[in-house]
Amino acid sequence: MIRIGICDEDQNFINNLVEIISGIFFQYGDWETEVFYSGKDVLSQIEKGTFDCDLLLMDIGSKDDSGLLVAKKVNEKRIDTDIIFIASSEEYVFECYRYHTFAYLLKPLKQQEFEFELKRYINEMNVTSKCLHITQWGNEIAIPLRKITYIESNYRKVIVHTSTEDYEYYAKLNDLEKVLHEDGFIRCHQSYLVAKDKITNQIGNEIMLGDSITLPVSRRYMDNIREQVFDEIAATQDSQSCYVTKSLSQNREKTGALVCIKGAYVGGIVRIRPEQKILIGRDGNVADMVVNLPEVSRLHCAIIYHEATESYEVVDFSTNGTYVNTDKRLIQDETYLLKPGTIISFGDRNTVYKLG
């Protein structure tokens, strides 16, 4: 079941959204909508702990900025939802991006654009893994559940063993067991919590994970392992030290971004994975990001986001120039390192982007 919240003051607009949603979601299984007529109504449910929408379609608010307050509250409280803003103004596009908005669309709403973003949301939900969020040395880390093999208790700490690396942080295994119980993790020992789908065999009082990992099974948990290794487990999630999410905004890997804040592509958000080179230009045969404007060259420039230094490496190849902070033109073929928040334009200086 996908729950979709719609927040807008205009009942006719709401009815139109419901009709479009019906035409798309019927093929993906059960869904339902809940209507809010102001951001204050959404905030009220959040404060009461009753807000449970997977996706929220929301206006910024014609009378106030309550839409932004909702985005801020969702971000602060780690509410497990994604937001698509449908706004009357381009004014808040970059601020909404900072709150991990999935998309930002402008009124009057173009049905084709709206359908594209809904389908993109569904497709990304289908391929994005749920994540366990932990805090390690002051840094928040999202660990895909599918990568976790087992979790080990080590005095006041736990060690999360994954297929690629281990994560050690302060937590209680009992808390983790509550959080992960319904996601296919089972206790086999006082010191171990294991992913059921990673168990390949049981011999006596031991279980095998793959071909090389052996864990003990204590008498207390023996029957539980036998009965539930291949069963669904239902439990509540309740922990202060860790939590699991399914929303794209929280589970997406950390990325850079180009956010169009003015001009032909206003509201557009292009996410850039760390160390991924993005070629920008007018010709889709050579460019990864197509900007189809007359003053943009076939291959205009290249951008790489460096996560470690939180900077963007930019090289211009164009005829009409790449401009930063409105009027500074980059020298062709020279490498520049730009910080997040830098304003950048590609040839057409009426279409303005901001580095996320």
Coil vs helix vs strand at 302: strand
pLDDT in tens, 285-299: 999 999 999 999 999
Averaged pLDDT, 239-259: 69
Q: Tell me the pLDDT of the chain averaged across its residues.
A: 86
Residue 284 confidence (pLDDT) above 80:
yes
Beta bridge pairs of residue 143? 132
**Angle between helix 39-48 and 66-76 (nearest 10):** 20
Q: Find, among 107, 93, 21, the residue nearest to 62 by Cα.
A: 107
Kindly list the structural domains of the chain, giving each domain's residue range(s) and its CATH number in brackets, ordered by start.
2-127 (3.40.50.2300), 131-245 (2.40.50.1020), 253-355 (2.60.200.20)
Give me the pLDDT at residue 249, please.
66
Beta-ladder partners of 312: 305, 338
CA-based max dimension of the chain: 74
Confidence of residue 236 (pLDDT cuts 50, 70, 90): very low
CA distance 197 to 145: 11
* pLDDT (0 to 100) of residue 80: 79
Residue 96 in 3-state DSSP?
A: helix
What sign has the CA pseudo-torsion 104, 107, 110, 114? positive
Print the SS3 string covering 40-66. HHHHHHHHHCCCCCCEEEECCCCCCCH
Q: Which of 54-58, 135-139, 269-273 has the lowest mean pLDDT?
A: 135-139
Relative orientation angle of helices 11-25 and 111-127, to the nearest 10 degrees: 50
Per cent of the chain over pLDDT 70 is 89
pLDDT confidence of 239, banded at 50, 70, 90? very low
Q: What sign does the dihedral 19-23-25-31 (CA atoms) show?
A: positive
Between 86 and 201, the higher pLDDT residue: 86
Joined tokens for residue 310 = 């939180």
Q: Taking the mean position of all CA atoms in its chain, how far away is CA 285?
A: 29
pLDDT tops 60 at residue 156: yes
Residue 314 · residue 322 · CB < 8 Å: yes
Mean pLDDT within 314-326: 95
- The answer to whether 3 and 52 have CB atoms below 8 angstroms apart is yes
- Cα gap 172→310, rounded to integer Å: 33
